[in-house]
Amino acid sequence: MSKKIDLVAEETVINTLKKKYNLRPTIIGEECGKIHGSDDGYLIMDAIDGTTNASRGLPFFCCSLAFALDFKLSSVVSSCIINLSNGDIYHASNGNGSYFNNNKIRVQQEYTNTDLNTSLNFGDLIIGTNVSGLSKPNLEKIETLLSITKHVRHFGANALELCYLAHGYLDAYVDIRNKIRITDMAAAYLIVKEAGGYMFSDTGLYLDSTLDLDERLSFIASSSKHIFNMIYDVLKKSD
């Protein structure tokens, strides 16, 4: 059922691009794979992120679209994520900020003050994380972080959860399962960055990758570098 929903959704997006907008970029999709187009650029698509939520009637799933100039995550210049359960839209373009229903948004600003950072602890933070199917070694790695964080959240759609970080609802989002595909987070990547947030790999480097569907990513997204450093230090000590 979940795969059927994905296929129908992808076909709808592709047909709309071709017939309504006459756009034919190379398409990279979770189910359709890579479809070479006659136009420049790459459209990275997850027609439904949170398919299981959708199939069960849980109102937290989205359509995620990103446009990249080159075959790299860092070349994404425009993105849009639609909450399909209520029609809310997040979008961003390179250098122009991130928006929620056409209102500009920023990551949580409460802990950007240097004086506050000195006393900041995990009891103050709301951290999103995806631990579904986490391997035992990685579960042990994240165990300490989960135990010291008083407010942990997971809703079942990574792209939309990263939008919640961009909107200031979450202070960070952590996924170290090494399972995330480029289609799952290309659009959210730009939305987080344009809202003033940060995207790092689990090795501590700024997140980047090719747009290859075989790539599997782990990442730490945060509203500030200080919060990233707090999380990264805990994960490294548990390594």
Find out whether 94 and 78 touch, Cβ atoms under 8 Å: yes
Q: What is the CATH number of domain 2-105?
A: 3.30.540.10
Split at pLDDT 50, 70, 90, the class of 193 is very high
Split at pLDDT 50, 70, 90, the class of 159 is very high
CB atoms within 10 A of CB 21: 8
Q: pLDDT digit string (tens) for 198-216?
A: 999 999 999 999 999 999 9
Q: pLDDT digit string (tens) for 26-59?
A: 999 988 889 888 778 999 999 899 989 999 999 9
Sheet strands (E) in 12-153 = 26-29, 33-35, 42-49, 62-68, 76-83, 89-93, 98-100, 103-105, 126-129, 151-153
Split at pLDDT 50, 70, 90, the class of 110 is confident
The DSSP 8-state label assigned to residue 125 in this structure reads -
The DSSP 8-state label assigned to residue 75 in this structure reads G
Domains of the chain, by residue range, sit at 2-105, 114-237
Of all residues in the chain, the percent with pLDDT exceeding 70 is 92
pLDDT computed for residue 19 by the predictor: 67
Q: pLDDT digit string (tens) for 69-103?
A: 999 999 999 999 999 999 999 999 999 999 999 99
Find out whether 23 and 66 touch, Cβ atoms under 8 Å: no
CATH architecture of the domain with range 114-237? 3-Layer(aba) Sandwich (3.40)
Model pTM? 0.92
Give the Cα separation of 92 and 77 in Å (integer). Answer: 8
